[in-house]
Structure 1
Amino acid sequence: MNPPASSRYSGAAQGCTGAPRARRDVPLTICDSRGVSRRPARSSHRPAKAGKTRKPGKKKAGHAPRRAVRATRAPDPRPPVVAAGALCWRPGSTSDPSRIEVLLVRSARWGDWSWPKGKVAPGETLPECAVREVTEETGVRPALGLPLPSVGYRLPDGRDKTVHYWAGTPGKLVGGLSPEPVSGSAATAPGPAARAEEIAEAAWLPVREARARLTRESDLPPLEALLEHAAAGTLRTRPLIVLRHAKARSRAHWPGTEGDRPLTSVGRSQANALPGLLAVWAPEHLLTSPWARCMLTLRPYLRSRPDPDAGLEILPLLSEQGLRNDPDRVTRLLRTVLDAPEGFGGSLVCTHRPVLETVMAALAPACTPQALAGLPAANPWLGTGEALVTHVAASGRIVGVERFRGEVPGQK
């Protein structure tokens, strides 16, 4: 026989206020040893509704059988690490173009050999990061060329890291390594801005020796791509940059002439973000529409150069009115730039959205199939303040295409 309810819960109910009721049809409130009230667990069984019975062995229609859930790794809430670098190359000690030397660095902390690279700083584009990191770690400021395959791997702390690479030729010497080719390998101290705890050594090495010295096998794909371009004669390129002017005032709300329409506040921010990006390729020939919104877009970059007017050509044919007057002149201009002799240097063309269709049509026949896939194919072609960087080989063929735009709040 069960004891009365009052005595059955008397030990467990110490510390509760009031005595428990003896009703058996209502769950009693029970207190644990800490004086916290709780209720007995309810039964999961629910009585069937009246008039609805289920035959034994018959499954409810529309319900698939349950499957076992496979355990998966929870996604890392931390953002992945994004970095950029370059495979700087130079001709070797022989006249064979395939016998090139490449620039490697050795980590002071881990002792591994890899390509010079580093994390992207806030507000910095990937090409700007690549130039800065190579300069800091080796003392050689590279002139970026063709994009190479990216490398991805997992860091010891579990985060994913992606490194974007470009081919690069040694340009201005900041300190550290000499850009001139030497016989055999050459090693020296890192660049002056590299901290001692990061880079212990930088060295120009022949390709065969560099391949053997690389610590991670994942660093090989960029090297193999670089060698493929060298064998095809497309490794040495010059940039042809097509720039759409920054965001301008609305046509409908501007009382002045079309040629005087200025930039908005967002457009001025876009223009101010261009000097660092354009300095990566440092085009020598600047061809621009004379209309205000194009001139104002280039002004910050022009002011950042030692000689602002060097190589600047103001061409009315690149304006919207110039396109209406003679569309073929734009095509002939682009063809002349593409067919320029070796040593001509890089070029930049700043123009308007309506002119971009003619520009893209002029560039398309010169593109390799791979480059053509990256060429804009529909209106508006480029965003305001966006740059299309094409890499032109000595043959006049476009062998690479990239698009870049500075990070500016409010731009579309």
Structure 2
Amino acid sequence: MIETGIRLCQFLVLMTFVTLHNTQAAEYTVHGIADLRVSYIDSVDKGYLNSGQGKLGLGDGLHFSLAQLGADISVSWENGFSAHGIVNAYPKASGGGESTVLGITEAYLKYRSLPTSSGYRLQTKIGIFYPEISLENNAYAWASKDTLDSSTVNTWIGEEIRVLGSELKVTRLGRLNNDKYDLSVSATAFMNNDPAGALLSWHGWTISNRQTLWTEKRPFPWFPARADGQALAGQADKSDPFLELDHRVGYHVRGEWKLRGKGELSAGYYDNRATPYKVIDGQYGWRTRFYHLGARWRFSQNLSLTAQYLSGDTLMQSQNKVDVVNNDYASGFVALHYNWQAISANKKHKSTVRVEDFSVTDNDNTWGDNNNEQGQALTLNHSYRLSKPWFLSAEFTLIDSHRPARYYTAQPVDLIEKQWQLAARYFF
């Protein structure tokens, strides 16, 4: 199935190249982001990106980085079809950090119909893409407009939830039915997400802007159950979240109610339907399921709210169908945004306050693999629009977490982590 995804990406690149020679038939655009940051972190030595037990991407100390370099390439035809390819690069940060990586995060074909006479619109998508879950990552290359780092909910979505599949969405447009609201329902059938849940279980909830590239493997901390002769001795050193192990089709369904000019409410359910005792080359199937709720609401021209909640379970078993990892998990956040109108209409200030609560509950009895976790996080962000493409941001994050697994590597079970960041972001 990985080969299928690669062939699809090659097809999209080929279609883009062909249409560049016929500007009458298609319109192409390139947008993206360059995110320059300086960060100071008060935490343990290693962040989760380097297989550490920190909740932040980088470890203790001062870091300079190009935190994200992303490009969103699209080709649109007049008949409603479009092709999209999203590429992201994460160069190695100074002062410690993972190695530089570059690759595809999404690549898909999309069709959006004209409304019917009764006010219905059809949209389909096929390829590699994110299920429609995040309400934060609304900028180019799946970046966030309001904060530098995503919430715990959407950091996990960016790390482990990606699909190779097909989505169908139907929208009832209110303006064509004398209503002030739109209604949408969507259904996605997918493959290539069977190991999702491993990273959430073994490093817990985290906060960063890092997305996993398609076919990329990601590390997790050491724990005693991985030692020779123990229950997880056969587990590979890194998790490969976008694999297909059992050829079972997963699904995601979502509904949305949107009131024009005010906001939206949404709910969805995801089930990868993975076989939890299937293992290939040290990569296990994880039966991962969750529901998610979301809301965006504008109280006034200046004040708005974004909120999300996600809760589910994940199961991995031995080949004898005995539970090895059986976890429940939940995370949610509420964010308030305030736009400060400056004297010049081209220069605006925006402040965001985000509070979060997250947990993992370990329901199995596997020795040396305690995945229990409880924590809260606070993020304060202020952004200034210097010009149309340039934004300057300052962000502070505080995470207070209790995670017994840190005891395995002689680190504090109860940990308070702080991160200060300054960023210059260029959207093109």
TM-score, normalised relative to structure 2: 0.21
Higher fraction of strand: 2
Give the structure-1-normalised TM-score: 0.21
Larger radius of gyration: 1
Normalized per residue, which structure has more helix? 1
